[in-house]
Amino acid sequence: QGKFTLLRDSRTDGSFLVHHFLSFYLRAGCKVCFVALLQSFSHYSIVAQKLGVSLAAAKERGQLVFLEGLKCCLDVLFGEEEQPEQPSPLQFLSSCELRALFDFVRLSLAPGERDSWRGPVLLVDDLSVLLSLGVAPVAVLDFMHYCRMSVCCQLQGNVVVLVHSNEDSEDEENNLVVNSLCHHSDLILWAEGLATGFCKDVHGQIKIIKRLSLQLAEEQDLVQTYHYKIQDRNVTFFAPGLSAAVL
């Protein structure tokens, strides 16, 4: 509890990690606020069903609070005028500030009198979309800082965020956000595409970086590297050089 996990991908799609954490926390009985900026609810629901979780049922019982960013963006840009007492979480599209989005997260995970969930969880897929929508990097980092203070520190919950990155990219704003989040995260799961190109038996490699230096200044971060293959209902991990293509 109280941990900030950063999901990072380069030259590959790390969304399989988002699906894993979403189904994992729902099965664990946690209250989940899912800020989905990349895909529709039906997309996540179909994948979750393959993993044995019903997102529709989780929403009905109040365990899952789902913000469908694609639909919300259309409502803000082309919909009717919003009510003053109920501002849209994505009103930054017109006002360029993320306070409404943070208020949505805070109110969604606020403990209720009848709540019996094990702990609050904020899941964001993916944070890089905010930059593409015109939000300044400082505003994105401020938003994440407030979310970490509210969810991780005050509520003793967990925050899991996906960001896209490319070390060769000239997108300075995205690089600034990614590097800053790496410094503040407790755990980094970094999915990378293979430098050698496509392989049907190895879809990529993942670095698991445990930030020991956050708690113990003299300790070095623990880094583990595995290769992985994405299958229909799960993901297989194995040490480099032990894939079916090699053995």
DSSP structure string for 189-226: EEEE--TT---SS--EEEEEEE-GGGT-TTPPPEEEEE
Mean pLDDT of 90-98: 65
Residue 245 lies in a domain: no
Mean pLDDT of 114-121: 86
The answer to whether residue 44 scores a pLDDT higher than 70 is: yes
Residues 6+ apart with CB under 8 A from 240: 205, 225, 226, 227
Q: How far is CA 29 from the centre of its chain?
A: 18
Residue 35 lies in a domain: yes
Helix, strand or coil, per DSSP, at residue 6: strand
Residue 48 lies in a domain: yes
Q: Helix %, strand %, coil % for the chain, to 5?
A: 40, 25, 40
CB-CB neighbours of 143 under 10 Å? 21
Tell me if the pTM is above 0.75.
yes
Distance CA 34, CA 55 (A): 11
- Give the domain range for residue 123: 3-82+98-110+117-215+224-238
Q: What is the pLDDT of residues 136-187, one digit of tens each?
A: 999 999 999 999 999 999 999 999 999 998 776 778 899 999 999 999 999 9
CB-CB neighbours of 134 under 10 Å? 10
Residue 247 lies in a domain: no
The answer to whether 163 touches 178, Cβ cutoff 8 Å, is yes
DSSP H helices in 62-206: 69-78, 92-95, 99-109, 128-132, 137-147, 172-184
Q: What is the pLDDT of residues 63-89, one digit of tens each?
A: 999 998 888 876 776 665 555 456 677
Residue 153 lies in a domain: yes
pLDDT range class, residue 246, cuts 50, 70, 90: low
CB-CB neighbours of 200 under 10 Å? 9
**CATH number, position 160:** 3.40.50.300
Give the model's pLDDT for residue 86: 62
Distance CA 101, CA 134 (A): 15
Residue 89 lies in a domain: no
Q: What is the pLDDT of residues 185-244, one digit of tens each?
A: 999 999 999 888 878 889 999 999 999 877 777 778 899 999 999 988 889 998 887 766
Number of domains in the chain: 1
Instruction: Give the range among 13-17, 83-87, 112-116, 230-234 with minimum mean pLDDT.
Output: 83-87
**For residue 7, what is the enclosing H or E element?**
strand 4-10
Instruction: Give the range among 27-31, 71-75, 120-124, 185-189 with minimum mean pLDDT.
Output: 71-75
Terminal CA-to-CA distance of the chain, rounded, Å?
A: 39
Mean pLDDT of 114-124: 89
Give the model's pLDDT for residue 216: 75
Residue 92 lies in a domain: no
Residue 187 lies in a domain: yes
Distance CA 178, CA 181 (A): 5
